[in-house]
Amino acid sequence: MTSPRLAVDIWSDIACPWCYIGKRRFESALSSLPFKEHVDVTWHSYQLDPSLPERYDGTEADYLAERKGLPVEQVRQMFAHVTEQAAGEGLAYDFDALKVANSLTAHRLLHLAAEHGSAGRLKELLLSAHFEKGLDIGDPEVLRALGADAGLPGPDVVRVLEGDDYRDAVEADFATARGLGISGVPFFVLDMKYGISGAQPVEVFREALTKAYAEAAPLTLVATESGADGPACGPEGCD
């Protein structure tokens, strides 16, 4: 009997600290499950701030204080909390080095990566570059290098970076998110049936994945001594 497959669609932004933490927790849960090889993960684009300019002259603390109308010190306290949570997942956030950048081009590059089966790899590289390494994810040179690290064909990467390829695909992801009522990320959708909002604990992901996979599985007939089916009725009549 063919094993069922479970589709997991994930909406997230690269410029989202909880998205990286959520990715780690989801992966930890999935790696512990016996059916992990039968789960198909698709990454979808989402932008928390599409209006962000390509270049922002200021720190992440300045940007969030300005955008949310909060004192810089309060923003730094938020950073400390998120950094602690990230460390618990083995991530080394560095908000002081973080370069504020519009993530649109990076999202377009992710759609190219998806066509080559490398979206997960590039997503990891982009998140680490942004939150751990202080790299500018809006810089074409940085994106070209990350694309190469993800194994993407150089000419294709250049075409995306110098053009407008996959913008429609990115916009379609935004539209689907709106249709599903997604207003924050990360957001995980299991078989387009169950939604998980935010960077939930590993156990929440594990339980949800197990439930969704069980429902995706076909019925298993109860074994009988004879191994034969019992009397029953069907479209052609009864036994």
This prediction's pTM: 0.90
- Which one-letter amino acid corresponds to residue 185? V
- Asked whether residue 224 carries a pLDDT value surpassing 70, the answer given is no
> Is 159 a member of any domain?
yes
> Is 67 a member of any domain?
yes
Number of structural domains in the chain: 1
CATH number, residue 129: 3.40.30.10
Nearest to 144 by CA among 157, 156, 128: 157
Name the band, by pLDDT with cuts 50, 70 and 90, for residue 56.
Answer: confident
- Asked whether residue 223 carries a pLDDT value surpassing 70, the answer given is no
Convert the pLDDT of each residue in 111-120 to its tens digit. 999 999 999 9
Convert the pLDDT of each residue in 63-98 to its tens digit. 999 988 999 999 999 999 999 999 999 999 999 999
> Is 114 a member of any domain?
yes
- Asked whether residue 221 carries a pLDDT value surpassing 80, the answer given is no
- The per-residue pLDDT for 117 is 97
Handedness of CA 171, 140, 158, 153 (dihedral sign): negative
Q: Which domain holds residue 99?
A: 6-216
> Is 234 a member of any domain?
no
> Is 29 a member of any domain?
yes
Tokens of 60: 């992440």
- The per-residue pLDDT for 57 is 86
Omega before residue 186 within 30° of 0, cis: yes
Nearest to 99 by CA among 58, 143, 147: 58
> Is 140 a member of any domain?
yes
Q: How many CA atoms lie within 13 A of 43 on its CB side?
A: 28
> Is 153 a member of any domain?
yes
> Is 111 a member of any domain?
yes
